[in-house]
A = this chain, B = another copy of it.
Amino acid sequence: MTQGTAIIAGQGALPGLLARRLEAEGAPFVLAEMEGFVVENPGGWPVERFIVERLALLFDRLRDLGMTRVVFAGAVSRPALDPGRIDPKSAMLLPALIPAFQAGDDALLRAVIGLFEDAGFDVVGADAIAPELVPGDGVLTPDQPSEDDRADAARAAQIVTALGAIDVGQGAVVAQGLCLAVETLPGTDAMLRWLADVAGGCRADAAGAKGVFYKAPKPGQDRRVDLPVIGPGTVAGVARAGLAGIVIEAGGVMILEREATLAAAQAEGLFIWARRP
């Protein structure tokens, strides 16, 4: 029997991308949508809605549908729990979740993955379904990083690693060895917009290296979920900020809409480099 795949769908284009891929392969799948979110569903595919308070019922339902594999796709914000809605079976799951709710997003996600695994599901990363989403080592564009860009990338990687160790951000901008910006809660786009406004005045040598945007997962992050993502919007932001290119950690960052992203980079004369850490 072909195994079915449940796509636990959060925000953005990723759930739809995975659904389309599974559909093309003729593989059975279902989108699972948490109440309070509306999944992007360009294919009008079947959707199972669930609430966190009744997670055990979702497990039963997915099993009934023949789903044996689960992929988390796209971010969801942390739900509030309504104790009045918890069913008895799901209540048995809560002892594993409550401490994780206190301990931060990563811990909560690990705990949720653990619950799916304990329920017998095989939890895989999006790249198990669409490997081209997560590029390995190499420069993906005709434009290549210069020696200066490579040095800036190495410095940015050092910064993002140090930040990741204290659970802050997954991105940074470095130009001519100097850190121009660090990604924080408001995210990549907000950082790049700001940089576009101030970048003209903050490079030591205006004629020197333009700088790179670097993105990587957090150290120790479970690579099956919540990998950082770039896409055509990232390219547009990096171009407006006047940077030379984008560097992602090889094997650790997804490119959504890969063709459109690479085409946009080429049109802007930017490089995209998946760099071995």
Flag if A185 contacts B180 (CB, 8 Å): yes
A179 in the interface, Cβ–Cβ < 8 Å? yes
User: Chain A at the B interface: mostly helix, strand, loop or mixed?
Assistant: mixed
Residues 186-243 (chain A) with a chain B CB within 8 angstroms: 186, 190, 194, 198, 201-202
Q: Which of A17-25, A38-46, A159-167 contacts B (4 or more CB under 8 A)?
A: A159-167
Which of B162, B178, B181, B190 lies in contact with A163, CB distance below 8 A? B162
From known contacts A162-B165, A166-B158, infer whether A184 and B190 are also in contact, taking CB-CB under 8 Å. Answer: no
A182 in the interface, Cβ–Cβ < 8 Å? yes
Centre residue among A158, A178, A182 by max chain B CB count within 10 A: A182
Flag if A184 contacts B194 (CB, 8 Å): no
- Which residues of B lie under 8 Å from residue A162 when comparing CB positions? 162-163, 165-166, 168
The complex is assembled from copies of this chain, and their number is 2
Residues 2-44 (chain A) with a chain B CB within 8 angstroms: none
From known contacts A162-B162, A162-B163, A163-B163, infer whether A186 and B202 are also in contact, taking CB-CB under 8 Å. Answer: yes
A135 in the interface, Cβ–Cβ < 8 Å? no
CA–CA, A190 to B180, complex, Å?
A: 11
- Which residues of B lie under 8 Å from residue A168 when comparing CB positions? 159, 162, 179, 182
What are 17 sample pairs from A and B whose C-beta atoms fall under 8 A apart? A158-B166, A159-B168, A162-B163, A162-B166, A163-B182, A168-B182, A169-B182, A179-B184, A180-B184, A181-B184, A181-B186, A182-B182, A182-B184, A185-B202, A186-B202, A190-B194, A190-B198
A residues at B contact (CB < 8 Å)? 158-159, 162-163, 165-166, 168-169, 178-182, 184-186, 190, 194, 198, 201-202
